[in-house]
Amino acid sequence: MLEIAVLGAGRIGRIHAGNIAAHPGARLAGIADTDPAAASGLADALGTRVLRLDDATRADALVICSPTPTHADYIEQAAAQGRPVFCEKPIDLSAARVRPCLAAVHQAGVTLMVGFNRRFDPHFAALKARLDAGEIGRLELLTIISRDPSPPPISYVASSGGLFRDMMIHDLDMARFLLEEEPVSVSAAASCLIDPAIGAAGDVDTAVVTLRTASGRLCQISNSRRATYGYDQRIEAHGAAGMLRSGNVFPTTVQLADAQGFRSNPVLPSFLDRYAAAYRAELSAFIDAISEGVAIQPNGEDGLRALLLADAAVEAAATGRAVQPAAV
Amino acid sequence: MLEIAVLGAGRIGRIHAGNIAAHPGARLAGIADTDPAAASGLADALGTRVLRLDDATRADALVICSPTPTHADYIEQAAAQGRPVFCEKPIDLSAARVRPCLAAVHQAGVTLMVGFNRRFDPHFAALKARLDAGEIGRLELLTIISRDPSPPPISYVASSGGLFRDMMIHDLDMARFLLEEEPVSVSAAASCLIDPAIGAAGDVDTAVVTLRTASGRLCQISNSRRATYGYDQRIEAHGAAGMLRSGNVFPTTVQLADAQGFRSNPVLPSFLDRYAAAYRAELSAFIDAISEGVAIQPNGEDGLRALLLADAAVEAAATGRAVQPAAV
Amino acid sequence: MLEIAVLGAGRIGRIHAGNIAAHPGARLAGIADTDPAAASGLADALGTRVLRLDDATRADALVICSPTPTHADYIEQAAAQGRPVFCEKPIDLSAARVRPCLAAVHQAGVTLMVGFNRRFDPHFAALKARLDAGEIGRLELLTIISRDPSPPPISYVASSGGLFRDMMIHDLDMARFLLEEEPVSVSAAASCLIDPAIGAAGDVDTAVVTLRTASGRLCQISNSRRATYGYDQRIEAHGAAGMLRSGNVFPTTVQLADAQGFRSNPVLPSFLDRYAAAYRAELSAFIDAISEGVAIQPNGEDGLRALLLADAAVEAAATGRAVQPAAV
Amino acid sequence: MLEIAVLGAGRIGRIHAGNIAAHPGARLAGIADTDPAAASGLADALGTRVLRLDDATRADALVICSPTPTHADYIEQAAAQGRPVFCEKPIDLSAARVRPCLAAVHQAGVTLMVGFNRRFDPHFAALKARLDAGEIGRLELLTIISRDPSPPPISYVASSGGLFRDMMIHDLDMARFLLEEEPVSVSAAASCLIDPAIGAAGDVDTAVVTLRTASGRLCQISNSRRATYGYDQRIEAHGAAGMLRSGNVFPTTVQLADAQGFRSNPVLPSFLDRYAAAYRAELSAFIDAISEGVAIQPNGEDGLRALLLADAAVEAAATGRAVQPAAV
């Protein structure tokens, strides 16, 4: 039985810790957090104990859900202990910090999985499997629509790394996941349309990106920080033999028909609902990979590549030029 | 912490036992089954113990998932011990047996909940809540479509009580739940169209029923024992101010578009998937009701009334006459 | 070029006259109406002339859109002149009047087509074609939902023959069209729920019917005189190998998503919009059949059979008994 | 009664001529074509006469459906005669030729309408009207998906002006129509993925464009020359208060459910079907504008602006830079 420690007792830490506790192949070794009250609150709720940070990196495996600036350090500590790590995205907001961290992971020979949860969403995973099965032939055009229900607090915006590195990085990873070719060119356009305070904090709230691969596959991504109708998460893959798409998820199938028309619910309002199954499947994949000693994706390189695409998008939006992403 | 024993380690027993084990307000007291191997298999899987039948009826509460002919006896035993009971539908296939059983429950003053799980399905429950909220005004016409993915084994058919008492009883309960008036007239038509062996076993596989309430509300139910596209479960409520409907549930939102058209998945294939959330909510309602000492529905009378409607449907199908259901 | 006269310059006469005028294989011979102003108004609008009734029955073919009580007489006049006739449904509200009329038609050897326009709706016609092509194997269960947007004026109700003969007759014809077996048993339930004035006029406004064929196929029909969300016209055919359904038609594909959910338009509000293409196709079939000298459906016998089913439904609703429709 | 001549008896000429012939406010003056057989074929079919080109420009109004290289000349001839003109898009493939043509139109003070038919599609027009009515507040993100069922012949490709000027020009006009601000920046990416012969002819078959307006509104357009599931025409407008979208149009509402899932038809396969109503409404708008002496859109400037956006897209795709469209 794999004993897994969780670092970070915030919102996402709570999800992963709960999923570990419920997993038949793992046991929750404990919770560590720089805020002892947060750690003991979550530990109590799940019937586990509070761990010191140093002890956490000595569990069989570590799940890192602490604030972004701490990720790379903790990964390196776990690597030094030879422990497999699951780390919430991003590894770091700076590629310059990610690279030595990945080198340490590589040298230690430990497993590092990065938390791009959407790869494990049952809807997107089914789309990917059917793409792989050749149902639409060669992929040509990929469309990713990703819109948050509402903007994060301005305090978060300021330290988030910006929309491209904070939000769109998920879509960039999905693009890589589905395109099956590395994008060689990134162009972008972005605006602050929702809240001037976001602009004042140096960020944008509405952005689009175009990716092009070496063989010419094209991908369009659009992001908005606000969708009044819920958390909008859609993917559409257009290929030589057809089109596969994955739509939004609704809380119920109930529909009201009256003089105003036919009305369904808004879509699921939060990533916690929309991706609950994805978080479970993601952690399960981590546990399985460790238990079976097999390689896992998305790994550290996937984390870096998505960040490099986000960096390229930032530059492209600023310059109006298509940018080639930096090499790994 | 409520300690709940489960009687019956079959398919549905496994579901309820698992839901008890995962419920924060309850503990699984153990599993009893006339087949010791089945009992210990399930008990081991859930980390609980095997119980003798007599001990099971002495837990804080009892969940009965044993074969139908044993239900009424076990209910009476639990009632004699003053224990609250959740019993899978039906209480018995004969109203003559149900009545004294309910009398015993009444005399003992214990809680009896009957397993009409569909009332707890999030989709149907939302429809009901919105009906109650007046979104379509006064209900006039109710349509219930319920089709199994494939017929049960002939061995099951023979002892099932027939389609009306075995399968349609769920829809009859939903009709009562949603109509909010007791049906005063039942007409029915039925055929054996899918498999002659079902007819040879004295049953039908395709059936429709019409209910009429005292105020004139109408309800149409249709049942088939086979739907190639999955487990078809739909309800449509037509009222003075609009229509509310609850559609089928699909495993994914993925859609393929090609020269043949736009294709979604078949709907969820089994009641275990379709009603997984309903089973959880149902048991949770049982646990909450006991813990809080409040009345619960669907109760024994609901179980009897649905059976009496099924009996009326059997007679109506045989005679071609609209039949008034027997009094409780 | 077939010269066709139109009898009756009302709402439906206007439609048929317009379709004749626009048909490349026919010419509008003129319009006859007992109200000369109505006749000349329509004739002027379509660039044709007013005809005396006697002259109308001497055109190459006659389209009867006059009030129901006049249908049988005009059919007989046209038959006496050897002219093919298209007659709006019903031939008459009484089977006793329909039978001699059909005998006269038969004796004269003329073509009589009855206006069950829904057979020619592109959606229902496609469903029928795919049913015939075997896409769902043997048909077992047919569901027909037909709801008017709002009740007709009480003055109309009083002389309409009642919901079963006036409104449901269309659905009974569709049932015969799709079941491909004659119903041998009709049961029915009906209520006055929408407007007490309808009940005071001796009619119902909400009704359901169950049909059963000799081989056991079942059909459920539901009618309401009021649907707040438009003219609701749906058919669902459940068979051994699958299900075919034809849904409602929306004026646009536009959907609004906001905090209230996802909202489509109400469905097309009127039979004039919903069945505009059906009326064109129906008349085209009439013209083609005459031009090519081939038999046509729905014919007089179809008109009578649908009426006999409606008569059986009236009796079934009144007695609570399944009724065998009278023989042709 | 407005007498309108049609120049060009090809596929689109046939549509416009038929719509003129059926319009109550216009009469078809005749058909002119450099190919006399084509002209007389269409003229005979519609009961009109063949016109010499010079006579055509002297009718009350002229509809130009001849090959693109002739458009500007014919517009200038009609302008010289003081005749209002409807011209199929584009006015010319070169802005250098369009500008003097528009100057001539301006000087003559005649009406010039350009055939961007999609503005008149009932679905897109309803979306536009609801956008204008403020249903989603301020527009922020526009997504236009436009995919042909199959590539045109290579012979056509070579003289088409390329995908951006031939196909995407429609989407660029729709973007202007809906954004209600002029795009100030155009970026693009394009590939030849479907047929190498298209690349050999110097064109692309798959392309995406991003537009940005002065206030920061963003628009993504994607084009493919091949969609196996029909002629894919969708628009989605995301705003501060919600999202409006217009989906594809299906030939029927029939759906088949079986073990493979739920399958609708492919979407309408051709622009002739998809935009039949748009072509009628477009011509009706032209006739109404002339009859009532009011200004009309899309006019010559709209034609030029869409072309300048296409030119900018061509440059952007070639250079990888965001391009500011040339001034009118």
Determine the Cα angle at B243 with ends B240 and B245, to 5°: 150
**pLDDT tens for each residue of C238-295:** 999 999 999 999 999 999 999 999 999 999 999 999 999 999 999 999 999 999 999 9
Q: How far is D15 from chain B (nearest CA, A)?
A: 27
All residues of chain D having their beta carbon less than 8 Å from the beta carbon of residue B145 are none
**pLDDT tens for each residue of D11-59:** 999 999 999 999 989 999 999 999 999 999 999 999 999 999 989 988 9
User: For chain A, which residues lie within 8 Å of any Cβ of chain B, measuring from their own Cβ?
Assistant: 22, 122-123, 126-127, 130, 135-136, 241-249, 251-259
Distance CA A115, CA D152 (A): 45
User: For chain B, which residues lie within 8 Å of any Cβ of chain C, measuring from their own Cβ?
Assistant: 138, 140-141, 143, 145, 147, 185, 187, 189-194, 206-208, 210, 212, 215-218, 220, 222, 224, 226-229, 232, 238, 240-243, 320-322
pLDDT in the model for residue D251: 97
Both structure tokens of D275: 């935009």
pLDDT in the model for residue C141: 98
Burial letters for B258-289: b for 16+ Cβ neighbours within 10 Å, e otherwise?
Answer: bebbbbbbbbbbebeebbbbbbbbbbbbbbeb
- Answer yes or no: do D216 and A191 touch at CB < 8 A: yes
Measured between CA atoms, the residue of chain B closest to residue D227 is B258
All residues of chain A having their beta carbon less than 8 Å from the beta carbon of residue B245 are 254-255, 257
CA distances from A66 to A8, A9, C13, D277 (A): 4, 8, 76, 58
CA distances from C60 to C28, C49, C211 (A): 10, 15, 39
Q: Across the interface, which of A122, A130, A254 has its CB nearest the CB of B244?
A: A254
pLDDT in the model for residue D174: 98
All residues of chain A having their beta carbon less than 8 Å from the beta carbon of residue D228 are 241-243
Domain ranges of chain B: 2-110, 119-279+305-319
Distance CA D228, CA B228 (A): 27
Q: How far is C12 from chain D (nearest CA, A)?
A: 21
Mean pLDDT of all residues belonging to chain C: 97
User: For chain A, which residues lie within 8 Å of any Cβ of chain D, measuring from their own Cβ?
Assistant: 138, 140-141, 143, 145, 147, 185, 187, 189-194, 206-208, 210, 212, 216-218, 220, 222, 224, 226-229, 232, 238, 240-243, 320-322
Q: Across the interface, which of A123, A247, A257 has its CB nearest the CB of B243?
A: A257
What is the helix (H) or strand (E) element at residue B94, kind and residue range?
none
pLDDT in the model for residue A285: 97
Beta strands in C154-288 (DSSP E): 183-191, 206-213, 218-224, 232-239, 242-246, 254-258, 261-264
Mutate to test the interface with A, among C150, C234, C253, C263 (most CBs of A within 10 A): C263
Residues whose CB is less than 8 angstroms from the CB of residue C327 and which lie 6 or more positions away in sequence, other chains included = none
**pLDDT tens for each residue of B63-96:** 999 999 999 999 999 999 999 999 999 999 999 9
Determine the Cα angle at A238 with ends A237 and A242, to 5°: 115
Q: Quick one: pLDDT band at residue D1, thresholds 50, 70, 90?
A: confident
Task: Name the nearest CA neighbour of C211 among C253, C180, C240, C242.
Answer: C180
Task: Identify whether the C-beta of residue C207 lies closer than 8 Å to the C-beta of residue C187.
Answer: no
pLDDT in the model for residue B327: 96
Task: Identify whether the C-beta of residue C212 lies closer than 8 Å to the C-beta of residue C179.
Answer: no
All residues of chain C having their beta carbon less than 8 Å from the beta carbon of residue B185 are 189, 320
Measured between CA atoms, the residue of chain A closest to residue B124 is A254
User: For chain C, which residues lie within 8 Å of any Cβ of chain A, measuring from their own Cβ?
Assistant: 227-229, 257-267
Largest Cα span, chain D: 66
Q: In CATH, what class is A119-279+305-319?
A: alpha beta
- Answer yes or no: do D263 and B260 touch at CB < 8 A: yes
* Tokens 């196996």 found at: D228
Q: Across the interface, which of B227, B229, B259 has its CB nearest the CB of D229?
A: B259
Identical fold, A2-110 and A119-279+305-319: no
Q: Across the interface, which of A122, A243, A258 has its CB nearest the CB of B257?
A: A243
Q: Quick one: pLDDT band at residue D294, thresholds 50, 70, 90?
A: very high
**pLDDT tens for each residue of B113-151:** 999 999 999 999 999 999 999 999 999 999 999 999 999
**pLDDT tens for each residue of B260-307:** 999 999 999 999 999 999 999 999 999 999 999 999 999 999 999 999
**pLDDT tens for each residue of A33-87:** 999 999 999 999 999 999 999 899 889 999 999 999 999 999 999 999 999 999 9
Strand order across the beta sheet in which C61-64 lies = C26-32, C2-7, C61-64, C85-88, C112-115
**pLDDT tens for each residue of B205-256:** 999 999 999 999 999 999 999 999 999 999 999 999 999 999 999 999 999 9
Q: How far is C241 from chain A (nearest CA, A)?
A: 24
Q: How far is D268 from chain A (nearest CA, A)?
A: 15
CA distances from B28 to B4, B56, B230, B281, B287 (A): 5, 11, 33, 17, 12
Residue D233 has pLDDT above 90, yes or no: yes
State the alpha helices, DSSP H only, in chain B: 11-22, 36-46, 53-56, 71-80, 95-108, 122-132, 154-159, 163-166, 168-179, 196-200, 271-274, 276-292, 300-319
Pairing state between β A261-264 and C261-264: antiparallel
DSSP β-bridge partners for residue C183: C213
Distance CA A154, CA A129 (A): 38
Distance CA B167, CA D53 (A): 76
All residues of chain B having their beta carbon less than 8 Å from the beta carbon of residue D262 are 229, 263-266
- Answer yes or no: do B266 and D261 touch at CB < 8 A: yes
Torsion sign (Cα): C86, C88, C89, C95: negative
Measured between CA atoms, the residue of chain C closest to residue A265 is C261
- Kindly give the interhelix angle for D68-80 and D95-108, rounded to the nearest 10 degrees: 20
Both structure tokens of C208: 């359901």
Measured between CA atoms, the residue of chain D closest to residue B251 is D261
- Answer yes or no: do B229 and D261 touch at CB < 8 A: yes
User: For chain C, which residues lie within 8 Å of any Cβ of chain D, measuring from their own Cβ?
Assistant: 22, 122-123, 126-127, 130, 135-136, 241-249, 251-259
- Answer yes or no: do B227 and C243 touch at CB < 8 A: yes
CATH number of B2-110: 3.40.50.720
Distance CA B41, CA C132 (A): 51
Mean pLDDT of A279-291: 96
Residues whose CB is less than 8 angstroms from the CB of residue D220 and which lie 6 or more positions away in sequence, other chains included = A208, A220, A222, D141, D142, D143, D144, D208, D209, D210
- C58 exposure class (CB count in 10 Å sphere: 0-12, 13-18, 19+): middle
Phi, psi of D235 (to 5 degrees): -135, 140
Both structure tokens of A159: 């330290």
* Tokens 């009855």 found at: C114
Q: Across the interface, which of C243, C252, C259 has its CB nearest the CB of D123?
A: C252
All residues of chain B having their beta carbon less than 8 Å from the beta carbon of residue A247 are 253-255
Q: How far is C188 from chain D (nearest CA, A)?
A: 28
Q: Quick one: pLDDT band at residue B310, thresholds 50, 70, 90?
A: very high
Distance CA C62, CA C40 (A): 18
- Answer yes or no: do C224 and B212 touch at CB < 8 A: no
Residue C1 has pLDDT above 90, yes or no: no
Determine the Cα angle at D193 with ends D190 and D198, to 5°: 85
Phi, psi of D187 (to 5 degrees): -120, 160
- Answer yes or no: do C245 and D259 touch at CB < 8 A: no
Both structure tokens of D135: 């249903």
- Answer yes or no: do B247 and A253 touch at CB < 8 A: yes
Q: How far is C284 from chain D (nearest CA, A)?
A: 18
Residue B1 has pLDDT above 90, yes or no: no
- Answer yes or no: do A254 and B135 touch at CB < 8 A: no
**Amino acid symbol at D113:** M
Torsion sign (Cα): A157, A158, A161, A162: positive
pLDDT in the model for residue A282: 98
Distance CA D302, CA B302 (A): 69
* Tokens 């897109």 found at: D124
Determine the Cα angle at C301 with ends C296 and C305, to 5°: 130
Distance CA C18, CA C35 (A): 19
Distance CA C82, CA C107 (A): 10
Residue A216 φ/ψ region, left for φ over 0, alpha for ψ in the -120 to 50 degree band, beta for the rest: left
- Answer yes or no: do C187 and B212 touch at CB < 8 A: no
Which chains does chain B touch, 3 or more C-beta pairs < 8 A? A, C, D
Distance CA B288, CA C229 (A): 39
CATH number of C119-277+305-319: 3.30.360.10
pLDDT in the model for residue D19: 96
Residue A179 per-residue DSSP state = H
All residues of chain D having their beta carbon less than 8 Å from the beta carbon of residue B259 are 228-229, 266
Mutate to test the interface with C, among A145, A229, A232, A234 (most CBs of C within 10 A): A229
- Answer yes or no: do D126 and C245 touch at CB < 8 A: no
The end-to-end CA distance of chain B, in Å, is 35
Distance CA A174, CA A186 (A): 15
Residue D134 per-residue DSSP state = T
Q: Quick one: pLDDT band at residue A103, thresholds 50, 70, 90?
A: very high
pLDDT in the model for residue A1: 84
Residues whose CB is less than 8 angstroms from the CB of residue C113 and which lie 6 or more positions away in sequence, other chains included = C84, C85, C86, C87, C285, C286, C289, C296, C297, C298, C299
Within 13 A of A117's CA, how many CA atoms are on the CB side?
20
Task: Identify whether the C-beta of residue B320 lies closer than 8 Å to the C-beta of residue C185.
Answer: yes
Distance CA D37, CA A56 (A): 87
Q: How far is C120 from chain B (nearest CA, A)?
A: 23
